[in-house]
């Protein structure tokens, strides 16, 4: 796991990107760290922004990469996709996602599952952990 606030983040990021060679960056935060990740990615990378969880406005560090490395920045809005996609394609996409979660191919990291009663006292500490989501159950 990488910590964007750690002193060696850029070095660790470059090592991970060199080893994994990702081509698509799905981003719900859209801040300067996002821009830095995109800049560190290789040729033909795609930065797909589907949310804006941070108010910080990112600066594109290397605009020439869009030309010379053929990188792309795109937006994705699920509402529009649902409106424009034929029903059979939506059903197929949902079934594929469900199967991947059911088989363990995909997973969601969960830090804690809290009861509603303990949410007020434990939630701040659990949200401060960097490794997953916190679920609140009734």
Q: Which two tokens stand for residue 107?
A: 């997973």
Domain positions in the chain are 9-76, 108-138
Q: Of 47 and 110, which is predicted with more confidence?
A: 47
Contacts of 28 (CB under 8 A, 6+ apart): 49, 50, 51, 52, 53
Bridge partners, 46 (sequence order): 24, 72
> Of 88, 133, 89, which Cα lies nearest the Cα of 113?
133
Q: Which two tokens stand for residue 27?
A: 């981003």
Model confidence over 10-62: pLDDT tens digits? 999 999 999 999 999 999 999 999 999 999 999 999 999 999 999 999 999 89
Measured distance CA(10)–CA(71) in Å, rounded: 20
Contacts of 11 (CB under 8 A, 6+ apart): none
pTM: 0.76
**Which CATH architecture fits 9-76?**
3-Layer(aba) Sandwich (3.40)
Residue 45's CB: how many other CB atoms inside 10 A? 22
């Amino acid at each position: 796991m990488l910590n964007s606030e750690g002193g060696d983040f850029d070095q660790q990021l470059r090592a991970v990107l060199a080893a994994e060679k990702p081509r698509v960056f799905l981003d719900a935060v859209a801040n300067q760290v996002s821009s830095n990740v995109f800049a560190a990615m290789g040729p033909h990378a795609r930065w797909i922004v589907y949310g804006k969880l941070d108010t910080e406005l990112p600066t594109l560090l290397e605009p020439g990469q869009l030309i010379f490395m053929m990188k792309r920045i795109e937006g994705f809005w699920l509402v529009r996709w649902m409106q424009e996609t034929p029903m059979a394609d939506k059903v197929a996409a949902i079934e594929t996602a469900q199967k991947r979660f059911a088989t363990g191919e995909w997973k969601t990291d969960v830090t804690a599952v809290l009861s509603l009663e303990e949410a007020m006292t434990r939630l701040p500490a659990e949200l401060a952990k960097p490794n997953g989501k916190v679920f609140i159950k009734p």
